[in-house]
Amino acid sequence: MAINFKEEQVRVEYVIGEDTVRESQTRELEVPGEKPNIERVLEVNTEVVNVDYTVEDGGVDILSTIEVGVMYVAAPTPDLDPEEYDDQPVHYFHDQIEIPNFVDIPEAEEDMSAYVDVDIIRASYSFDPDENRIVDVTVVLKKFVKVLDYRQITIISDVTGIRKELVEKELLRIENVIAEDTYSVVVEGILDVPANKPEIERILKVTGGLVENETATVTDGGVIVDGEFQAGIMYVALEDNQPVHFAEGTFDISEVVDLPGAEEGMTTYTNVNVKRWDYTVRENDAGEAKVVEVRAVVEIFVKVLEPRQIMVVTGIDSDRVEVEEALLRVEEVIGENTVGETVTKELIVPTNKPNIEEGGILEASAQLEDVACEVEDGGVLITGNIKGGILYVAAPTPDLDPEEYDDQPVHYFHDERSFDNFVNIPEAEAGMSCYKDVIIKKVRATRTSSRTVDLVVTLSKFAKVTNFRQLTIVTDIVVVSPVVDQDECERPSRVIYVVQPGDTLYKIARRYRTTVDAIVEANDISNPDVLEVGQKLIIPRCIIDGPRG
């Protein structure tokens, strides 16, 4: 029986190496010149806003950009003219710090690809009242780096003509990488300040992001990315009694990313990040400064994948063929899932703080810390902490001695709560690897009494389980002719061979048990690396029959 085989071409992410490093960095932040001194720090928020990396020989060079926001109570500044700054007790400033790091991956080479994930494990600050314009911020970062090389690999998936027990096979689940791209776009929206809120004098900060899971739909030749953004502004009002206010609004994003080779029905991985915010304040029809044109510079990363389950030939125990082998190192995809969770926590106003005025909640914030994942049998356990904060207007408290608390109209307090959630992935097993992406989609707060607030945080949790596989696979099979066991040829020792697609002189020589040099000499070939399909070659060899297969 003739020997035949089936081969397939796949483009896979070949795993070169990976590593996880942790580091702590402290940076000094200084209050901008136009702002008053600090009396007391209310809150320090940190967020990873950008990660740039370059794969180099021997590792990955990473530059992490962390945005730090500081909210504080202003100290009395009698030496400054109040007209030189906004004379309000609560102030906010922000800055960015850059943290460089090189992660060693010995086998990494320039121009390879990488997956880099930077998380803030913990953020803290210290403030010395004697240095009332300086805040020291410390962030503990965890950086996971994996170096990949996209490789086009030929996989032998089936062989006929050889007894089945002589052919070794394994099932491999891979993601065939079709295409990927990074796309930047400016998303614009209009945010209207509610009628019951005052006009804007000055915006302190703009925050926000995707509040609904973005949907990515693969079409022929591209991916459509849809989502809904929520933008919030904290601003100083044009009135004396309530200087700081918060307003928010939503607007949509819909973009098409061209990816040649994408087809309907394939899967996609999408990551949408806000790189920076910009805004313009203008008047509404009534002449009030209550309209904000918000612009977000958004970076969209899209990868299209084709999940495949294929049998791969890993060995053939037969002297009728010679095989070419290659080492395959890939992450086998076990499964993935996304779940939503709503976490509700009751926050109680600290005893040294005044009551909350009815309708006086200005802003609810939340920040994730210590997010981790662990694979268990049947799924992934995701754990972490939510640091929730409330900025509010104090209610009149004639029954309390003002000396018992900081008598400021705007106050802030925060608390933490841990969370855990099990994401079902049926084929997951303990010891496998996991990837997680936990995003705060929405934060809202409801005043339940003058001293309690229900903080509701909506989370989206993505988990993916992979299993590292390293195996030797057969990438080519050469059917060989039997050797003539005799001293001299008893019949003509030449055959005419017609070159087929994929042939090389090396393969032809192996097939007929001769040498490349002998074929080159017999055919007067000037360039052994160039063969044309249909070209006829003289094979100088003592043979008995044509090769099988």
Please give the average per-residue pLDDT across 226-240, as a whole number: 81
Tokens for 344?
């509700």
Residue 191 near residue 233 (C-beta atoms within 8 A): yes
Place of tokens 């121009």: 111
Tokens for 228?
């809904």
Q: What is the 3-state secondary structure (H, E, C) of 57-78?
A: CCEEEEEEEEEEEEEEEECCCC
pLDDT tens for 256-269 read 999 999 999 888 88
CA distance 509 to 195: 85
Q: What is the 3-state secondary structure (H, E, C) of 403-420?
A: HHCCCCCEEEEEEEEEEE
Helix (H, G, I), strand (E, B) or coil at 238: coil
Model confidence at 211, in pLDDT bands (50, 70, 90)? low
Q: Is 1 a residue whose pLDDT tops 70?
A: no
pLDDT tens for 389-447 read 888 888 876 555 555 544 457 788 888 888 888 999 999 999 999 988 888 888 889 99
- Range of lowest pLDDT (66-75, 112-121, 305-314, 400-409): 400-409
Q: How many CB atoms lie within 10 A of CB 536?
A: 9
CA distance 390 to 441: 17
CA distance 91 to 39: 11
pLDDT tens for 306-347 read 888 889 999 998 888 888 888 888 888 898 888 888 889 899
Interacting residues of 517 by C-beta distance below 8 A, sequence separation 6+: none
Q: Is 489 a residue whose pLDDT tops 60?
A: no
* Percent of the chain residues past pLDDT 90, beyond the cut: 26
Please give the average per-residue pLDDT across 83-94, as a whole number: 64
Amino acid 79: pLDDT: 57
Sheet strands side by side (includes 291-316): 167-192, 291-316, 267-282
Amino acid 487: pLDDT: 47
Q: Is 491 a residue whose pLDDT tops 50?
A: no
Mean pLDDT (the chain) is 84
Amino acid at 59: G
Tokens for 187?
């998303």
Tokens for 78?
């009698």
CA-closest candidate to residue 45, choices 414, 373, 360: 414
Tokens for 22?
């942790």
Interacting residues of 33 by C-beta distance below 8 A, sequence separation 6+: none
CA-closest candidate to residue 125, choices 74, 65, 72: 72
CA distance 523 to 515: 13
Amino acid 509: pLDDT: 83
Give the dihedral of Cα atoms 422, 454, 234, 283; nearest 10 deg. Answer: 110
CA distance 45 to 94: 9
Model confidence at 543, in pLDDT bands (50, 70, 90)? very low
The domains found in the chain, sorted by start residue, are: 17-150 (no CATH), 163-317 (no CATH), 335-471 (no CATH), 483-540 (3.10.350.10)
The radius of gyration of the chain from alpha carbons, rounded to an integer in Å, stands at: 33
- The DSSP symbol for 312 reads E
Model confidence at 485, in pLDDT bands (50, 70, 90)? very low
